[in-house]
Amino acid sequence: MERSVGGSRAPLVSAAWLSAHIAEPGLVVLDCSWYLPHMGRDPNAEYLSAHIPGALRFDLDEVSDPSSDLPHMLPAPEVFAQVAERLGIHADDFVVCYDGSGVNLSAARAWWMFRVFGHRNVAVLNGGFSAWARETRPVQRGAGRTLPTGYRSGEVDCTLIRDRAAIEQIVAGDSDAQIVDCRPAVRFSGEQEEPRPGLRRGSIPGSRNLPFGEFTDPSTRLSLTPSQLRALLAERGLDLARPIVASCGSGVSACTLALAVEVIRAADPGGVGPAVAIYDGSWAEWGRESR
């Protein structure tokens, strides 16, 4: 049975909500910050310098398939469970993920991973660390300490994942799904080189572009409202009643679209089809020069 923390089951929680409930048992806060190399930021060093009190470090590079030559591929369920156990997470805990980007660059990926492995009691902190810190709320330095919990992953939800074969079916017209690329527009169009070596410029045939940064209000750094998100997706020609598969560079920022659709669903489920699936290989796989 899932623990109830402040009655929340929403995909997004505010900094005010977290501040009010942070001391409640059954609440786990994770710093899931991750950045591309060219951003020049060290998420581990930033965590040690300042994080939300009690927050634990969830390193996306560590919680990935070590046997794959693609970045950030989902690990085996037992590997994910080992990390969750080491972090002291119980299967019924309410997990809140955040990052330091201000646009849910990587927190949504951690949120999605927990859902894939059967842990649905999970949310993202709206606005991330900056939303917490801007109200001069307390921060903590150093690494958190935990005790192992015997965590076990639930049944893998395969509806939330797509592989290259599934994308090829969509491109061939054998599926009703819509492919959405969440990379910046200059990378989608091929105007800018990819940040990873060995990748071509361009995009998956038939895909639409909706950069992950557009889901966030540029003035407040908070996620758009459900009605604004609906309007944004409609403007890009997306039908929420049909399946959507999100892609990006390595399957990280694509999860922001999955989060946005769940925010819409939580506010008004009418007309919302299945949850967004993530093409885990994303452009790191599809865009290989060897293909």
The catalytic residue positions are 248
Phi, psi of 21 (to 5 degrees): -120, 5
| 128: CB partners within 8 A, 6+ apart | 98, 99, 100, 101, 102, 103, 104, 107, 221
The distance of Cα 136 from the centroid of its chain, to the nearest Å, equals 26
E strands present in 27-157: 27-31, 56-57, 94-98, 122-125
Pairwise CA distance, residues 114 & 104, whole Å: 16
Q: Which residues pair with 278 in a beta bridge?
A: 161, 246
**Cα angle for residues 134, 228, 21 (degrees, 5° grid):** 40
Alpha helix (H) ranges present in 87-127?
107-116
Q: Could you tell me the two tokens for 167?
A: 């994308």
Pairwise CA distance, residues 96 & 123, whole Å: 5
Q: 70-90: string of b/e by CB count within 10 Å (b at 16+)?
A: ebbbbbebebbbbbbbebbbb
Residues in the chain: 291
End-to-end CA distance of the chain: 46
Q: Do residues 104 and 259 touch, judged by C-beta distance below 8 A? A: yes
